[in-house]
Structure 1
Amino acid sequence: MAPLALALVLGLAAPAWAGAAPAATVLPPEAVADLARAWLAGRVGAGAEVTVRPPARPLVVPAGALRFDVRLESGALEGPGATLRVTVLSDGAAMDEAASALVRAAIRRRVPVLVAARALGRGATLGPDDVRVEARAPSAIPADALAGPEAAVGRELARPLAPGEVVTARALASRRLVRRGARVTLRAEGPGFVVTAAGIAEEDGGPGDTVRVRALAAPRLLHGVVDEDGTVRVAY
């Protein structure tokens, strides 16, 4: 590429007289950062956010067609950040005429997270079209965020969600295995025996919740704990 054309591509000032060959080529700090970004783009993958800090000064090399080299100076591409060395050399120039700069890059890996596909109200039962998976930076994801729809579809919301808001475990209401007024199986256990009986739930409850129930055979109020299978364990 001709020196004048290269200067225009890099956004450099053209020489005062276009017919005269410039003595040097100046690579602005942002152009150096662009070289680092291009090098990183092919190595960290599309699931990462890369922020590159331009060097403090431009790189100046003898005029001519340029060759570039980018190498990892310190850090790791798998980690949160790395320092890269960007080297620029004109064709035909000696190595001692090369110019280089250290460029700091912050690398933030994106991870999948479940978000609301639209505005959802409290008490809504989530369907497949109500949520979607997006890739986001870990720093923007709550600790109890859900990664996929399997844990959310079919569950009720304990609070409203705005479009794009991350779906968390706290945003979901407890699974109501027992509903008020519904018939339930009561189970009492003791040393060497298990007794089951029919009852009526006096309130809603999910796994691990303590609920009030009434046995059909002896209609008195009891308290029991809801198991994963929907039965209610009562004290003997």
Structure 2
Amino acid sequence: MTRFAALMLAAVLLSGTAAQAATLKPAATVADGQILLGDLFDGLEPDVATRAVMVAPVPGRRASLDAPTLSRIAASNGIDWRASGGADRIVVERASVQVTNEAIVDGLRLALRDAGVGGQADVLLDNRTLSLFLPAGNDASVRVENLAYDAVRGRVTAEIIAPATGPEVVRQNIGARVMDMVELPVLARRMAMGEVIGDGDITYLRQPRDRVQAGAVVEASEMIGKTLRRAVAPNQAVNVRDVREPVVVGKGQAVTILLQSSTMSLTASGKALSDGGMGELVRIVNTSSNRVIEAVVAGPNLVTVNPSNPVIAPVSQVSGPSKKAAR
């Protein structure tokens, strides 16, 4: 073999084994379970770029590859790449679909409802930050299996499977507290004493049933059309003692006293010693006899007395509204 031929053969051999020049990508997102050379480096031939070099992180996670790791990958795969410094690195993220905590809670709540647990029940997961990550392309839905509800303890356990249909990708055991919830009518704005509550003044507040205070108003009908005995802040439970029928007989107002039975009807003049709404019991002084009686408010300036209702006391014995009347 001539010297020229030997040189040509060496050139061919060297060109066949020469390393490919490449540049490091700034970041990478992979859809499958393997990290390819082409995910890490630019400037590679197609057959080299599709070569798998390591397992990808699980869905929803990321992996950081530092300069020494990248140098080993490049050298073992014949890639001409040298780290420019220790700061060279790439973060590889696995593309995923997230099943949120809210979606898990909604699925569990629906399963409880299907099992006959109250429709107002709410669920608080033991792991309040729990979320599931599925490989990209999956549906972010769940189904519930092996539901076990303990009504005494207010606890539920179950298995969450995602996605809801098709091949199972994730199965997760969960535990949660189940709370019986109620919707309380509350004021949507701050209202002053004496204001009449209308439909537009009502909004609703969800609370666990066991946290509802005794005497709280539970139906909007108990508030609408009523007035407040005191100023009440918005978005807090309203006590039945805080609402009343609108005042139609005011303290100190002249009223007509109507005494009526099946055989007679009598009227007299009087003066109210306290405010009263429709149907409420108020104290009235008969201005003719100077006696104090209890009467029921029947309308503006009108009160009614049952014939069997006793006289409370002469007005001279009543020092004020707070003094208990003698019987």
- Asked if these proteins are the same fold (TM beyond 0.5), I'd say yes
Are the structure 2 counterparts of residues 128 and 87 from structure 1 closer, same or farther at C-alpha, using a change threshold of 3 Å? closer
CA distance in 1, matches of 2:171, 2:57: 21
Report how far residue 166 of structure 1 moved: 2.4
Q: 1:11 and 2:80 equivalent?
A: no
Residue among 239, 255, 258 paired with 1:183: 255
Q: 1:221 and 2:251 equivalent?
A: no
Q: 1:74 and 2:148 equivalent?
A: yes
**Which residue pairs with 1:211 in the alignment?**
283
Larger Rg: 2
| Cα distance per residue 1:85-110 (max 9 Å; x no partner) | 3468xxxxxxxxx9966421123344
SS at match of 1:137: strand
CA distance in 2, matches of 1:44, 1:222: 60
TM normalised by structure 1 equals 0.61
Report how far residue 136 of structure 1 moved: 0.4
Are the structure 2 counterparts of residues 80 and 10 from structure 1 closer, same or farther at C-alpha, using a change threshold of 3 Å? farther
Q: Equivalent residues in 2 for 1:140-151 (5 A)?
A: 140-151=211-222
Q: Which runs of 5+ in 1 are unaligned?
A: 20-30, 60-64, 89-97
**Which residue pairs with 2:231 in the alignment?**
160
Q: Equivalent residues in 2 for 1:1-236 (5 A)?
A: 2-3=32-33, 10-14=59-63, 36-37=104-105, 39-43=107-111, 48-54=121-127, 70-75=144-149, 80-86=154-160, 102-129=173-200, 131-139=201-209, 140-173=211-244, 176-179=247-250, 180-187=252-259, 194-203=264-273, 204-206=275-277, 207=279, 209-214=281-286, 218-226=288-296, 230-233=303-306, 234-235=309-310
CA distance in 2, matches of 1:8, 1:146: 54
CA RMSD of superposed structures (Å) = 4.7
Are the structure 2 counterparts of residues 211 and 35 from structure 1 closer, same or farther at C-alpha, using a change threshold of 3 Å? closer
CA distance in 2, matches of 1:32, 1:173: 46
Q: What residue identity is the alignment partner of 1:231?
A: T
SS at match of 1:224: strand
Instruction: Confirm or deny: 8 A CA contact 2:108 2:144 kept in the other structure.
Output: no
SS at match of 2:228: coil
Q: What residue identity is the alignment partner of 2:107?
A: W
Equivalenced residue count is 206
Are the structure 2 counterparts of residues 49 and 69 from structure 1 closer, same or farther at C-alpha, using a change threshold of 3 Å? closer
Q: What residue identity is the alignment partner of 1:84?
A: A
SS at match of 2:295: strand
Are the structure 2 counterparts of residues 83 and 135 from structure 1 closer, same or farther at C-alpha, using a change threshold of 3 Å? same
Report how far residue 194 of structure 1 moved: 4.9
Are the structure 2 counterparts of residues 100 and 9 from structure 1 closer, same or farther at C-alpha, using a change threshold of 3 Å? closer
**Which of the pair has the greater relative contact order for Cα pairs under 8 Å at 6+ separation?**
1
Report how far residue 121 of structure 1 moved: 1.6
Are the structure 2 counterparts of residues 181 and 33 from structure 1 closer, same or farther at C-alpha, using a change threshold of 3 Å? closer
TM normalised by structure 2 equals 0.47
Q: Which runs of 5+ in 2 are unaligned?
A: 1-30, 36-55, 74-98, 114-118, 163-168, 312-327
